Every structure is written in structure tokens, then in C-alpha cells.
Amino acid sequence: MQFFKGSMLELIIQTSTNLPPDVRQAMGEALKTERPHTQAGQALAIIGQNVDMAYEDEGAICQDTGMPTFEIKTPVGVNQMEMKKQIQEAVAEATQRGKLRPNSVDSISGKNSGNNLGPGTPVIHFEQWEEPDIEVRLILKGGGCENMNIQYSVPCTLEHLGRADRDLEGVKKCLLHAVWQAQGQGCAPGAIGVCIGSDRAAGYHLAKLQLFRALDDVNPDPTLAKLEQEIMDEANKIGVGTMGFGGKVSLIGCKIIAANRLPASFFVSVAYDCWAFRRLGVSLDADSGAIKQWLYLDPKRPVERLVAGAGFQVSGREIRLETPLSEEKVRALKVGDVVLINGPMVTGRDAAHTYLMRHEAPCDLRGAILYHCGPVMMKEGTPPNVRWRTNAAGPTTSIREEPYEAEVIKRFGIRAVMGKGGMGKKTLAGLKEHGAVYLHAVGGAAQFYARCLPKVHSVHLLEELGVPEAMWVFEAKDFPAIVTMDSHGNSLHEDVAATTGAELEKVGATR
């Protein structure tokens, strides 16, 4: 197995940087479906450009490279313990090369292991089969979409849809609800893997395994094939759209399995994956571990660009924001405005918010834009000439900071917070009271935004919090974002949740 570790490293790098062709195809269709000057159309243009940049420069498509999950089939007699060790080495090397973000955090101490290794990470499942080769499939599913997974225990009552019974109509209601409840927080348009039945734990696992099916395959079970198609058709009528901005494309895939259940239980388990749907696989020679064939990729078909031109085009209607921001400038902004940010901008996500609730800020935040982002950073050079390069820097899900944000804005004089998926009522009230806005960047567009952050001014709390959670002060250059919550009490997220809820009710009323 002298080539096994190298094969795993190549699989990780390709999975992180090269979106599979079936997902490209689905995103290409989405690009054609949405009108270019809508918010969904603009977001898709950035996504398309980001996917192209990631492939061309072999950079991570999204900065959240997720929980690496390997599903492996081996012939009898293969040494699985040795394979596991080599996979761990490959994961650590991919992290060191900046292809994976250090994502493995001790759940008790909060310390990041720095190399994606630790109890429970990466996830590796083995199964034996009667084929002569080894098959390894890998999925990189990030935290934003993982948090949108949902499990229903039917019968249950669903918002906008009423009662879901223990039958296929009830299952259908659950799946439409799953797409609706994710809104933009899972970086829509997404795909769902579904398990009808099983128990709570195995149901989630089987649902996630469905995400290994190609988006364009057809379920061999005609009942499930019909259900998958119906969900695709109906979920795309609800209007969640890209990033939850509203639009025609909310779902790019629905893959369902049914498993036997206990008579007393009826679970519907849903694994939600984002547009940055990164999964690939390889077939390996069982003696050498060398790659014999790529799964999902067609070697005869060259990788096609998603956007023909430059992708996101500045229209001239954008509002230029120079940091630090004044209250007057911020109060003039309205929901729907597209802004181009220039000047210093500071990151802060979960651990930084916890820190700011208890300490003084490590840098001046007056008039600042606080960017919810955990970047992938590479250290270059040797002391004293060390510099940081930004490898990937898209937004993370903002709602996690909802309990703290209004207080942080008030205490430190922050004028804008930026992330993805929007925030709740408490933050909206804080924006109004203190004169601030919420800016929405396009989730997953890590390569695109890394290029809008050409310089690192400084980094704070690096030792204490680790790379993704540290507070990085970047220089922003023409960084585009959309105002989705303003200082006048308006929220695009509340509006879209209401209109899509009404659409969901219409769909539910036909049942």
C-alpha cells in the first residue's frame, strides 16, 4: 500500500477544491434560471466565479472544509488499521498545506488541535465487500449546512404545513419544511439526503450516505424516485433562493432512502448540504493503494468554467463604504443596497464574541465592520520576516452570535456586522438603537473574498483562540456585500421567511 497515503492526499485536495461535475451542472442551471441583476443572480455570479477560482488555483472552495467523512469499502484481508493511520497523516498534511482548515476543536477545552485530528475526527467508516479493489468516498460538509440537518418524529405539527402523518404525504411535508427552515443559513441552494425510518442515530447516518449519490441519478425504487422528483418541483416553488435572498432555485438535489423502523418510531432524517457540495471518490488498487479510477469525475470531460466572463460585475449603483464608518453613513443605508467595502475590516466569530463579552477589545472597533469569518491562513517566510497569506475567507453563519451581537455592537461602537444567513430580532433592535447594519456576504465564496482581502494588518488572540477564531484585521478592497438588515428595523430575512412561509402554506393546502 505504498501509494495509499498519497492517494488519500490527492482525494482530499481534489474534494476541497474541485466541485463535482453533477453539482457544477446543477449550479450552472441555477445561474441560467435566476435573472442576473436580482440578489440571487448576483450571489450566483459570485459563487460561479468562486468555483472557477478554486479549481484554477487549487484553493478551498469554501473556507469551512467541514468534517472530513470517509466511507470506505475494502476486500477481505486489507489492513484497515494501517489505512486509518495513513488517512490521518494525509488529513494532517492537507491541513498544513492549507487545503483543509483546522476544524477539530476539543469540545471541553475549546482548543483547536490545529491539524484536523482528534477524538472523532476525521470520521472513517469501513465496510467489507466482495470486489477486488478498495473504494474510498469522501464528503466535506461544513458546519453551516450541518446545523441545518433536521430530524422529524411523525406524527408532528409543522409551521405553515399543519399535521404531518405517518405516511408519504406526511414525509413530503417534513421535507418541504426542511428546505424552508434552512432559509439561507445552510448556504442555499442546497441538496438533501433523506432517510425515512430507521432509528435516530442510524437514520441520520443513512441520510448523509444519500449525499454520495450523484445529483442526476434516478432512485431505483419507483416510489422514492417519484417522491424525489415531487420534492424537487415543490421545494423550488417556495422561493427561498440563493442564500435565502428569495429566488427560483432553492434545492439542487433530493435523494431518499427508506429503512425499516420500530413499530413505535417513525423518523424522517434530513442531511442538508450546501451549494458547496464537495464529495468525490476513488477506486484503488488493493495491493499498492494507487488510484485506478476517479468516481464522479469523467476523465474524458474537461472541467467547464461556471461563469463565462468575470462573474460578478460592478454595475455602478453600488455604494462605496470606507472604514471606519460614521453613524450618518450607516443610517443612510437601506435593505437591498449593494456596498463595496474598502479599508480595514476585522474578523470575529464564536470564540471572539465570547471573549468580547468578558474583556476589552484587543483592537479599536469603533466604526468597524465585524466580519463573521474563520479564514484559512498560511504563514510564509521565516522570523523576523513572517507574513500571512489569506487562502480562503468567506462568511460564516451569523445567527450563532445572536445572543451577543447587540451587546457587542453597543459596547464597542461597531457600525456593521457581516456574515451570512442573517440575524434575529435582538440584533435587529440593536442595529436600530445604536446605528448599525447587517451586511450579507455570499456563503462559501471563500476564494472570491480572499482576493478582496489582499493584506493582513494584524492578528489578535491567535494563541488563545487558534487561526479560524482569532481576530484578523484585513485590508478590504472592493469587497461586495448586500445590506439585508438596516438601522430602520427592516430585515430581508424576515421578509423572505414570511413570503416563503405563505408559499409553503399554499403547497400544504393542496395536500
Shortest separation between residue 227's beta carbon and ligand SF4, angstroms? 25
Shortest separation between residue 145's beta carbon and ligand SF4, angstroms? 4
Helix (H) or strand (E) holding 73: strand 67-74
Q: Show the site string, 382-411: x = touches ligand SF4 by CB under 6 A, - = not.
A: ------------x-----------------
Shortest separation between residue 148's beta carbon and ligand SF4, angstroms? 8
Judged by CB, which is closer to ligand SF4: 41, or 374?
374
Asked if 48 and 306 count as a contact pair (C-beta separation under 8 A), the reply is yes
Judged by CB, which is closer to ligand SF4: 23, or 470?
23
Dihedral pair phi/psi, residue 88, rounded to 5°: -60, -40
Q: Show the site string, 53-72: x = touches ligand SF4 by CB under 6 A, - = not.
A: ---------x-x-x------
152 to 191, contacts with ligand SF4 by CB under 6 A? Answer: 186-187
Shortest separation between residue 175's beta carbon and ligand SF4, angstroms? 19
Rounded to the nearest angstrom, the gap between the alpha carbon of residue 164 and the centroid of all alpha carbons in its chain is 29
How far apart CA 493 and CA 371 sit, in angstroms, is: 18
79: left (phi over 0), alpha (psi -120 to 50) or beta: beta
Rounded to the nearest angstrom, the gap between the alpha carbon of residue 9 and the centroid of all alpha carbons in its chain is 22
**Which segment (10-18, 142-150, 345-353, 492-500) binds ligand SF4 by CB under 6 A?**
142-150
Q: Is 276 a binder of ligand SF4 (CB under 6 A)? A: yes
Three-state SS string over 301-365 comes to CCCCCCCCCCCCCCCCCCEEEECCCCHHHHHCCCCCCEEEEEEEEEECCHHHHHHHHHCCCCCCC
Q: Is 44 a binder of ligand SF4 (CB under 6 A)? A: no
5 to 34, contacts with ligand SF4 by CB under 6 A? Answer: none
Judged by CB, which is closer to ligand SF4: 5, or 279?
279
Candidate list 28, 68, 144, 244; residue touching ligand SF4; CB under 6 A: 144
In the Cβ-directed half-sphere of 501, how many Cα atoms lie within 13 Å? 11
**Which segment (143-151, 292-300, 410-418, 481-489) binds ligand SF4 by CB under 6 A?**
143-151
- Give residues with Cβ within 8 angstroms of 212, minimum separation 6: 71, 137, 139, 279, 281
439 to 458, contacts with ligand SF4 by CB under 6 A? Answer: 443-444
Q: In angstroms, what CA-CA distances link 288 with 2, 7, 86, 90, 181?
A: 6, 10, 13, 16, 46
Judged by CB, which is closer to ligand SF4: 144, or 422?
144
Judged by CB, which is closer to ligand SF4: 16, or 269?
16
Q: Is 480 a binder of ligand SF4 (CB under 6 A)? A: no
C-alpha cell at 219: 432512485
- What residues make contact with ligand SF4 under the rule CB under 6 A? 62, 64, 66, 142-145, 186-187, 274, 276, 394, 443-444
